[in-house]
Amino acid sequence: MKYALFLVLFFSDYLVAQNSDFIILKKKGKTSASWFAGRNIAFTTKSGAFINAYINEIKNDTLYLQEFIVQQSLTSFGTYFYDTVGSYHYKFHYNQLKAIGRESKRNFDWKGSGGVLLGGGTLLTIGSGIVYLADRKKFSAPLMLASAGLATIGYFLAKGKSNTMTIGGKYELIYMNMQNK
């Protein structure tokens, strides 16, 4: 056992792991996210193309990507399965990225709830307006004001934040070269 430990320590200088380049997204100087070979990335290029692909390699300021074409197929039992039909290979310089898609969180959906609140509040407001025109005795001003307020709150909740992080301004994309010189 002593000899094995000696050999491992003696030859450890010759064992070198392969370094991989990666890119970092910083927000106001703090690291927000990082991407390296073996991860998926979703982004929009400066030309307007949206790419959701697997990173095969990052080398010399370039991302080598593979986007898979997935097709839904039916079985004889009436169920379906997803089948990979093919793939496309891309390479992009990291400066060609305009915006990077935010990873979806599995929390409560504020945008969807805001849309429902906006729709319901609008319908209640319109309904209260119709009741006011048809029969003023049954009209309820507090109901109309509350429904208009809920519609306004729903509008601001549905508006929410964007699903992309636009590079420039508060977001900065940095390429990290890890090649041995």
* Full-model pTM: 0.61
Helix axes 141-159, 110-134, angle to 10 degrees: 150
Distance separating alpha carbons of residues 130 and 147, to the nearest angstrom: 14
| % the chain with pLDDT above 70 | 87
Predicted local confidence at residue 17, as pLDDT: 55
Predicted local confidence at residue 71, as pLDDT: 93
Range 25-52 burial, b when 16+ CB lie within 10 A, else e = beeeeeeebebbeeeebbbbeeeeeebe
Distance separating alpha carbons of residues 159 and 90, to the nearest angstrom: 33
Q: What is the pLDDT of residues 63-121, one digit of tens each?
A: 999 999 999 989 899 899 999 899 999 999 989 999 888 656 667 888 888 999 999 99
Distance separating alpha carbons of residues 20 and 29, to the nearest angstrom: 23
Quickly count: other Cβ atoms within 10 Å of residue 12's Cβ: 9
| Higher pLDDT, residue 149 or 28 | 149
DSSP string, 92-131: EEGGGEEEEEPPPP-S--HHHHHHHHHHHHHHHHHHHHHH
Predicted local confidence at residue 14, as pLDDT: 55
DSSP string, 136-156: TTS--HHHHHHHHHHHHHHHH
Contact present, 86 and 28 (Cβ < 8 Å)? no
Distance separating alpha carbons of residues 171 and 28, to the nearest angstrom: 7
Q: What is the pLDDT of residues 4-34, one digit of tens each?
A: 766 666 666 555 555 678 899 898 889 988 8
Predicted local confidence at residue 36, as pLDDT: 87
